[in-house]
Amino acid sequence: MQGASGLETLLTEREAAKVLQVSLVTVRRWRRLGTGPIFRKLGRSVRYRPADIADFVAGTGRMTTRGPQRIQTAQALLRQSGKSA
């Protein structure tokens, strides 16, 4: 997404939280722990690219509530065993 200046539109922390439907505190915690979407620092301001938010959401799918195993990992294991996903 590009703004009128031709530069990519960047989201504030609050806007990112709204898009992700989580609290601002959660977005900040994820950033501190390194578990959230990729972010940019512009001086003291934190900004998020919409594409990075989408990539983060796409990579958070799970097939089980146990452990950190993600869909891609589970699909790879199925391929190794000869089963289709």
45/16 Cα distance (integer angstroms): 13
pLDDT digits (tens, 9 = 90+) for 6-18: 788 999 999 999 9
Q: What's CA 63's distance to the chain center, in Å? A: 17
27/31 Cα distance (integer angstroms): 6
pLDDT digits (tens, 9 = 90+) for 44-70: 999 999 999 999 999 887 767 776 655
Torsion, Cα 17 20 21 22, to 10 degrees, reads -50
Global pTM?
A: 0.69
More confident of the two residues 81 and 85? 81
pLDDT beyond 50 at 34 = yes
